[in-house]
Amino acid sequence: MNKLTQLQYETIYLYSKALKFNEIDNLLLTSSKGVYMQVMTKDKSRVTRAKKSREINLNRYKQDFSKYIFEIKLHNKEYKNNIIFLNIAKENFRNNYLNECMIKSLKSYNKYKLTFLKNHLQNVA
């Protein structure tokens, strides 16, 4: 297992969070498919785990999204004067999800980096 760069790690992390490649491109300002292929050559087991996690996270996202839309619809029924438009609510929900994924990917990379360094120091000592 080779150490992944931050870009490679974040790409595979965001892929596992059920983001599309064009969304990953916009968040990381890179060509994510190329980086994904680099990770496949370096660490195939990580890609396999990411594919499994992607399915799980996609189902969770759909459940959270449907709950959110249901809450918006309830809000619109109760407050007729203060209506939230569904298309704006959907876009806001997706943007919040993207921002949360970016923050989590950075935190996860920092943990990965520390773990990799600890293991390397143990092997050297």
pLDDT in tens, 29-42: 999 999 999 999 99
Is pLDDT at 1 greater than 70 in this prediction?
Answer: no
Name the band, by pLDDT with cuts 50, 70 and 90, for residue 2.
Answer: confident
**DSSP string of 30-85, one letter each residue:** S-HHHHHHHHHHH-HHHHHHHHHHHHHHHHHHHHHHHHHHHHHHHHHHH-SSSPPP
Is position 99 within any domain?
A: yes
The confidence score (pLDDT) of residue 120 equals: 87
For residue 14, the enclosing domain spans 6-109
What count of Cα atoms within 13 Å lies in the side-chain half-sphere of residue 50?
21
The confidence score (pLDDT) of residue 3 equals: 85
Is position 57 within any domain?
A: yes
* pTM: predicted TM-score of the whole model, two decimal places: 0.88
Number of domains in the chain: 1
Is position 122 within any domain?
A: no
Is position 13 within any domain?
A: yes
- What digits encode the pLDDT tens for the residues 67-79? 999 999 999 999 9
Is position 116 within any domain?
A: no
Closest listed residue to residue 20, CA positions, set 99, 11, 46, 29: 11
Name the band, by pLDDT with cuts 50, 70 and 90, for residue 54.
Answer: very high
The one-letter amino acid code at 76 reads N
